[in-house]
Every structure is written in structure tokens, then in C-alpha cells.
């Protein structure tokens, strides 16, 4: 991975939103960064062209469907590729070049995926490798020759196979050794022989089995068809429907290779130019893969934003109802049941060092087993230092459910989630929250006024219940429960008292 550019993310990612429409004729871009001038973009077509950065210094650029070649034609200037001085070089996407004081990045503007390889046995079961326009060496982990896909199994040779792209986007497998067979659909591939992989093919190395899925569509924007159709696949997942969409992205309904239902979350291309969005999206995915609780939506797989990949996240599909559509108010017993389930989820998240920071009805689902948190969009590890959004004064969260402590400049901790939980319980019991639609007015009220007592809407509500809610929504964190576990224990006592 090359260093980050001045925009906060690698250039291959930033270029996604600027990709050309004629992918076949314009496979690469060369980004030239100058200290004294704006960024220049040179489109590399399939035809040879001359690059002249200074008078008398000429370089010939050639590109085909799989690579770019740069060679010196005139002058004595040296080219550095990966820190090494050369007079000619075959360049790989993501390569950093230095020439005449210019720093350049080669950007691949073709499809990020040619196909996906998914493990079907051992410790690799369910693991997915997305394949792009490059070769991938496959072999035993820790061998003298570094492998792109390292496999930890004694039946795999140190250098067993290579996956490589064809000019038309096909993927081939080359058997590198005769000592350990490579099988495609149970048929052995001879040493130094190649076989083209087709979608659905099984690939066996030693006793490890993989499944190949061919990705169709060609362009990164194929994830967002404009003709009303659906992308046929995203990574190793077949797309079968659309669950929702908005300005931030699209959530597709999909199936994995075993036919299991999943939800696939894909951000819009224009957002990938925003380094803060990319950072938060990658963080949400990384957070979710480490979490395992029945009240928290499980993330099955994620592809982070990077040099050669378009980001997306694959989650378990929730077959239930978003609480944003839930009629209110709720019966008291149901409101307390949901609050208990939500506190269970929060107690787990907080025990893992995760603060959600954006609890609201839209992020909660009612499924057969109860309430489930569906989104970790702006969650963060409570032990991390220097959340950039907080440092720069940006307030992240939904205004109605936002902790007033954050409006005072305090860092959000786990008690911010308890505040939001208390507001949800208030809303479920009363039927609504007394806030206007203007965020600035909401902030003003939160900083200067308390919520009306719940007994204003229902004088028959038990005093202990009102006291419990008031402790959750105390305007200052130190006035709330110390933890979600403490709040859950207090809720159990309250429910027992109400039944008595």
C-alpha cells in the first residue's frame, strides 16, 4: 500500500468518482502532483503517447488492457519506481513514480473486481479474496517466496499456483509445481499449464477447496445501474433486490454462494472523495467484524476503501421492521421489554469498548427475537484517542437523540448511549418527543430546558418509572447510570416492583 496523498486517501480510491465512461479505451490515469500547481491528470489510452514534463525530457507511455509501460526516449532524467532508479519500467496500478521532481500515481480506472475466490474448507471457510487486474501467487504461508494469498496447510506447496488476468478480464490459474496438484472441478491441471476459471468453478490446492465467482458488469459504476436494473453481483455475492437507497448509498439484498440471505451496503461514488467519510465507513466495518451478539447485526464480510477495491459491507439480512415505522405509544410492558433488550446490546458494545453515538428508531429493527441494533455508522472505540470529528468541532449524531454533553464540547462516552436509550423509552411511552424540526432549536432546548415530565401526558404513570427515565436522560453524564449494566439491573428491579 503506498502512502496517503494530501487528500487523506490513496489516489486510486479518490479517482473512483472521476472515472471515465469508456473503460475499454481509457484503462488508466496518471495523477501528477506538483508543489506549485494543481494536480494534473493524464489519461492513458491504448495508443502510445509521449510524456514531456520538461523541454528535452521525453518519455514514451504505452498501455494495453493489463499494464502501462514507461520508457525514456530523450534526455538524461532518471525515473524512480518504488525508490529504485530505472530507465524503463512496467507499472502496476497504485505505483508511486518520481520523475523530474514530480510525484505521480498510476490509477487503474477499470473494474475493481474480475472475480472473487472464497474459501470452502478449514480455517479459510467463508473467507473471500477479491481479484483485480494483477497476478496473485498462492502458496504456503511463511515460504521464502512471499505469496499474495498465503495458505496455512501442510498439503499446500510453498509455491503452488498463480491466478492472473487475461486481456478481456478473464481469470486464469497457472499450476506452478508438479509436487502438489491443482484441480479445477476435480480435474488436475498439469505443471506450468493454465486453465481459465469460469464462474462457479471449484479450485483445489492440496486439501483446501475454493470457489471462484466471475464478476460481471465491467465498471465500478455498475454497482449503481441507471436503467432500473440491479448489478448482477458484488464481490462473491449475487444481488437479488434493493432494500433501500439514499444520498449516502444503496443497500442491496443478496445471496452468498450457499444461498444465505445478506444485505450489501455500498456507498455512493462521490463520497469516496471525502476522506472523513472513507475513514468512518472503514471504521464501521472494522468495528462490526469484531462484534458477536444476538442484539447487534452481524457483519459477514467487508471490503475497505483502498487502492484497487471499491468498498462495500455485507451484513446479515434482518427480516423485520424498522422502528421508524412503529406506531406509538407502546404498551408499557412492551416499552420496558424493548428497553431491556436495547440495554443488553449496549452493555455488550460498551464491554467491547464501543460507543454507538447514534441510537435512533431508524437504526433499530424489530425481529423475531426482539430488538436489534442495525447500524454502527458513527460508532467508535471509547479507548481511542483523537477522534477527528470531535477535534474539529463537528457534531456527529441525530439532533433529537444527541447527548447535550456533546453540545457543550465534551467527548461522548458510553453514557451518551444511555441518554439516547432514555429518550427512546420516553418516546415509546409518551408517543413523541417535544422537539421542533429545526436542529438549532433542538440544540437550544437541550442546553437550556428539561423535557416535560411524562406525567404531563399520562398522570397515571408510576413514579419509579419516571425516576428511571429521568436518570437515563439527565442533562449531565455524571447524573446518569454509571453503565448500561447498572441501568439494566435497575430496570429489572423496576419491572419486578411494577408487577408486585
Give pairs for 231-236: CB < 8 Å, separation 24+: 234/264, 234/266, 234/312, 235/113, 235/116, 235/128, 235/130, 235/301, 235/303, 235/312, 235/314, 236/116, 236/117, 236/118, 236/128, 236/130, 236/211
C-alpha 498 chain-centroid distance: 44
Residue with cell 487486474: 133
Q: Which three cell numbers stand for residue 376?
A: 454502527
Active-site residue among 10, 201, 256, 358?
358
Helix, strand, or coil (residue 426): helix
Residue 159 main-chain phi, psi, to 5 deg: -135, 100
Gap between the Cα atoms of 179 and 159, Å rounded: 10
Helix, strand, or coil (residue 415): helix
* CA dist 416 → 159, 303, 379 (Å): 52, 30, 11
The DSSP symbol for 296 reads: B
List residues bridging with 311 in a β-sheet: none
Neighbours of 193 (CB within 10 A): 11
Residue with cell 497476478: 135
- Of 241, 248, 253, the C-alpha closest to 316 is 253
Planar angle of CA 8, 288, 278, nearest 5 degrees: 15
Q: Are 276 and 14 in contact (CB under 8 A)?
A: no
Planar angle of CA 116, 122, 125, nearest 5 degrees: 35
Q: What is the CA radius of gyration of the chain?
A: 27
Q: Which three cell numbers stand for residue 70?
A: 514507461
Q: Which three cell numbers stand for residue 286?
A: 472494522
Gap between the Cα atoms of 220 and 214, Å rounded: 15
Residue 358 among the catalytic residues: yes
- Of 100, 97, 99, 38, the C-alpha closest to 68 is 97
Question: What is the set of active-site residues?
Answer: 358
Amino acid at each position: 500500500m503506498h502512502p496517503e496523498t494530501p487528500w487523506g486517501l490513496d489516489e486510486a480510491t479518490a479517482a473512483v468518482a472521476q472515472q471515465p465512461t469508456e473503460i475499454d479505451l481509457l484503462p488508466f490515469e496518471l495523477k501528477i502532483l506538483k508543489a506549485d500547481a494543481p494536480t494534473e491528470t493524464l489519461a492513458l489510452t491504448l495508443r502510445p503517447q509521449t510524456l514531456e514534463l520538461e523541454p528535452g525530457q521525453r518519455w514514451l507511455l504505452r498501455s494495453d488492457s493489463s499494464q502501462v509501460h514507461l520508457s525514456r526516449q530523450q534526455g538524461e532524467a532518471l525515473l524512480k519506481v518504488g525508490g529504485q532508479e530505472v530507465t524503463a519500467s512496467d507499472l502496476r496500478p497504485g505505483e508511486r513514480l518520481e520523475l523530474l521532481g514530480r510525484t505521480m500515481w498510476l490509477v487503474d480506472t477499470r473494474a475493481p473486481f474480475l472475480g472473487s475466490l472464497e474459501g470452502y474448507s478449514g480455517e479459510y471457510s467463508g473467507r473471500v479474496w477479491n481479484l483485480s487486474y494483477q497476478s496473485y501467487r498462492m502458496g504456503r504461508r511463511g515460504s521464502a517466496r512471499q505469496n499474495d494469498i498465503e495458505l496455512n496447510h501442510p498439503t499446500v506447496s510453498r509455491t503452488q499456483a498463480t491466478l492472473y488476468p487475461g486481456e478481456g478480464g478473464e481469470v486464469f490459474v497457472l499450476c506452478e509445481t508438479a509436487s502438489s496438484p491443482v484441480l479445477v472441478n476435480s480435474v488436475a491441471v498439469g505443471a506450468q499449464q493454465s486453465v481459465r476459471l469460469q464462474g462457479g468453478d471449484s479450485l483445489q490446492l492440496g486439501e483446501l477447496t475454493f470457489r471462484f465467482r466471475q464478476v460481471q458488469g465491467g465498471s465500478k459504476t455498475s454497482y449503481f445501474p441507471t436503467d432500473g436494473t440491479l448489478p448482477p453481483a458484488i464481490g462473491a455475492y449475487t444481488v437479488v433486490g434493493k432494500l433501500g437507497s439514499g444520498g449516502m448509498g444503496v443497500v442491496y439484498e443478496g445471496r452468498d454462494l450457499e444461498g444465505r440471505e445478506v444485505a450489501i451496503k455500498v456507498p455512493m461514488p462521490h463520497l469516496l472523495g471525502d476522506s472523513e467519510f472513507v475513514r468512518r465507513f472503514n471504521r464501521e466495518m472494522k468495528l462490526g467484524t469484531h462484534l458477536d451478539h444476538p442484539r447487534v447485526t452481524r457483519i459477514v464480510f467487508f471490503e475497505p476503501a483502498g487502492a484497487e477495491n471499491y468498498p462495500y459491507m455485507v451484513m446479515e439480512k434482518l427480516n423485520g421492521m424498522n422502528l421508524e415505522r412503529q406506531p406509538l405509544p407502546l404498551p408499557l410492558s412492551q416499552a420496558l421489554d424493548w428497553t431491556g433488550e436495547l440495554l443488553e446490546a449496549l452493555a455488550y458494545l460498551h464491554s467491547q469498548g464501543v460507543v454507538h453515538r447514534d441510537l435512533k428508531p431508524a437504526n433499530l429493527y424489530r425481529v423475531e427475537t426482539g430488538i436489534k441494533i442495525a447500524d454502527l455508522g458513527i460508532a467508535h472505540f471509547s479507548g481511542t484517542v483523537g477522534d477527528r470529528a470531535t477535534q474539529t468541532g463537528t457534531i456527529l449524531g441525530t439532533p433529537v437523540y444527541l447527548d447535550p454533553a456533546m453540545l457543550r464540547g465534551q467527548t461522548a462516552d458510553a453514557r451518551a448511549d444511555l441518554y439516547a436509550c432514555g429518550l427512546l423509552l420516553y418516546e415509546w411511552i409518551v408517543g413523541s418527543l417535544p422537539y421542533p424540526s429545526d436542529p438549532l432549536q433542538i440544540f437550544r432546548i437541550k442546553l437550556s430546558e428539561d423535557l416535560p415530565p411524562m406525567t404531563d401526558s399520562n398522570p397515571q404513570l408510576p413514579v419509579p418509572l419516571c425516576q428511571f427515565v429521568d436518570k437515563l436522560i439527565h442533562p449531565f453524564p455524571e447524573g446518569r447510570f454509571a453503565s448500561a449494566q447498572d441501568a439494566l439491573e435497575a430496570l429489572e428491579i423496576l419491572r419486578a416492583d411494577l408487577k408486585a
